[in-house]
Every structure is written in C-alpha cells, then in structure tokens.
Amino acid sequence: MDQSNQDNPIPPFPAEPDSTHHTSDANTAKLQQALLQEEPILSEPGQDPLQEEPILPNLPASYRRKTYGAPAHARPQHEAKPERMKKAYLRFLIEIGIAVVIALVLTGLLKTFVAQPYQVPTGSMESTIMIGDTIIAEKITYAFNPVQRGDIVVFMDKTQTDRILVKRVIALAGDVVDLRNGSVIVNGVALDEPYTHGRASYPLTSTYLNMTIEFPYTVPAGSIWVMGDNRTHSADSRYFGPILEDSVLGRVIVVIWPPSDMSLL
C-alpha cells in the first residue's frame, strides 16, 4: 500500500448541521399559534353549524364568497310562518275577487248581447210554457234578421213599466188580422194553431188608454201583432194593440226548468 495514502487519508464529507429537529419545532409552534388565532368552527347555541361559513384562512375572501355563498349573517332570514300564511290568504282573497269581477262582467255581456233567462209567472202561454217555467231568450237572431211569424218573443210591456211579457208573434207590419168564429185570420187565411189546443180566439174589450180595436185590423209599420197560446186567459194585442218591433228583447228558444217541462221551442 502506498504510504502517501496512509499518511494523507481522504477526509469525509463535512456533516450537515442537524436542522430537522429545530425546523419541526418551529413549524409546530407556528401551527399551534395559527390554530389558537382561528375562529372556532362550532356555532353559538341555537344556531345551525351547517349554515356557518367554512373556515378557509388560506383562501381569498372573494373565492370563499363565490364558492360558499354570503356569510350567514348576510343571508335573508326565512319569514315566519304566520306572515307567510297571511300573505297566502290575502293572495287567495285577491284571486277570488278578480274571478268574481270577471264572472260578473261576462254575465252582463251574455245577458246584454247573447241570451238571458226569464221566469214566467203567468199562464198566458200554457200549455207551451207553464207557470213557473224558466225560459232562455237569445238575442243574436234579431241582431241580423227580422222577427218572423210564429216566433215566441219576450218584450217590454207597454201597459206597465219594467214588466216583461212573453207571447207568440201572429202577424207582422202590413198584415191584416181578423178574428172570426174563434179563429185567427191573417191576410185572409185562417191560421192552423195546434199550440192553442182548440181554445177559441175572440176579441177582448180593451180599457188600455181607451183603445178600441176593430177587426179586420192592419198592423202599422214598425209593429207586430202578438197573442198568448192560452187564448182564453191572455191579455195580448187584442187588449193593448200591436207592439213595436224595437221593444222585442229576444226570441225564446228553450224551457230549461223544471226538468219535467224542458223542451225546445
């Protein structure tokens, strides 16, 4: 062996200072200090810890708000149950009120322009319409077409204000009406009237405005001659004369009540 190598051995690498122990102790101290400074995760009594904002000390505040939402104290609180019930009840009342108003408006429009029900209090149209029957009079037909012979119409009573009568149209303007031997003659032709069930048609003594109706009678322009089907118990044009066509409110099309009398007319 070379003597020079024995005399001059290779020195070992210098040992690094043992700093691991000291660094660990410093990190531990810093961690403990950070934990002591952090806000506790547990919430105050009565609060839901799940609603609290998570503790994320190492993340920017803007990121925490974006990810986890606003802090609990900034979030809107739920309304109390009585308050919610009160608002729901008010909303229900408003909706009912609107529905009632709409129904009234629609009813008014229907009665004015389409159809209207009437209850018949007398027997002048028996047996076609009985006492107490409810009828429907439609108003569309006469908005586009004139009144026709044989139509059953409702009209304003010329002898009493605010009273409505129902009769059958027998003759139109320009027609000549005559009553002979219990029959109705229009323009020289005796009418076939099965709806009278054989009841005779005789002139009536009129006390209305001292009116005297002599037959044969010519219906004036703009007027119509009406009579009840129950000829022996009907005050009609034989009593108060012809009525103005403009006073007609509608054409009766059906009896809707009671069920035993329901029929198309």
Amino acid at site 243 = I
CB 249 within 8 A of CB 166: no
Buried b (16+ CB within 10 A) or exposed e, 119-129: ebebbbbbebb
Q: Is 121 left (phi over 0), alpha (psi -120 to 50) or beta?
A: alpha
Kind of pairing, strands 189-190 and 243-244?
Answer: unpaired
Q: Cα(164)–Cα(253) distance, rounded to whole angstroms?
A: 16
Determine whether 177 is exposed, middle or buried from the number of CB atoms within 10 Å of its CB (0-12, 13-18, 19+).
Answer: buried
Can you read off the two tokens belonging to residue 263? Answer: 């029929």
Q: Cα(95)–Cα(196) distance, rounded to whole angstroms?
A: 52
CB 195 within 8 A of CB 128: yes
Catalytic residues: 124, 167
Q: Which of 209, 206, 265, 263 is nearest to 237 (CA)?
A: 206
CB 166 within 8 A of CB 136: no
List 154's β-bridge partners, or say none: 166, 250
Query: Residues 111-116: contacts with CB within 8 Å, 24+ apart?
Result: 112/139, 113/139, 113/140, 114/138, 114/139, 114/140, 115/139, 115/140, 115/250, 115/253, 116/249, 116/250
